[in-house]
Amino acid sequence: MPAPNLFLTYVSDAERSTAFYSSLFDIEPTFTSPRYVAFEVAPGVLFAIWTGGNENTTPETPRTSEIGLMVPGPASAIDAVYQDWTAKGVRVVEEPHDDVFGRTFVIADPDGNLIRVSPID
């Protein structure tokens, strides 16, 4: 059976979110349209943002999932990402702390989508 290869996040403004994710992850889109933008995050695997006519995408909308970035190395590597991202002015949801799987923190994109940084499982 094929594995999932597209991870889609709803946003309200594709241009604003493209700038946000390009800066945050230091990547450029591989496909751009007015309402859908894709970033190749591994060979054949896309992270995409889409307005999709979703008029209910607001920072106040409850989120039940997270975008994850697993970072190799010690806990200090997680803290270094936190320092880099907070210097970019991101909205912090959870400051760095130790959890059952290791050091972690959570930020939110302009639409309130959660992004968790954690160690590699």
One domain, residues 115 and 92: yes
Q: What is the pLDDT of residue 121?
A: 86
The CATH number of the domain holding residue 71 is 3.30.720.110
With respect to residue 47, please indicate whether it lies within any of the assigned structural domains.
yes
Query: Is-contact 120 78, C-beta < 8 A?
Result: no
Spatial separation of the C-alpha atoms in residues 68 and 71, rounded to whole Å? 10
Instruction: Indicate the range of 18-22, 58-62, 65-69, 101-105 predicted with least confidence.
Output: 58-62
Residue 41: give the domain boundaries. Answer: 1-53
- Structurally, how many domains does the chain consist of? 2
With respect to residue 59, please indicate whether it lies within any of the assigned structural domains.
no
Q: What is the pTM of this model?
A: 0.91
With respect to residue 75, please indicate whether it lies within any of the assigned structural domains.
yes
The CATH number of the domain holding residue 41 is 3.30.720.120
pLDDT in tens, 50-73: 998 666 677 777 778 899 999 999
Q: What is the pLDDT of residue 62?
A: 77
Instruction: Indicate the range of 8-17, 46-55, 67-76, 110-119 predicted with least confidence.
Output: 46-55
One domain, residues 83 and 119: yes
As to burial, measured by CB atoms within 10 angstroms (0-12 exposed, 13-18 middle, 19+ buried), residue 63 is middle
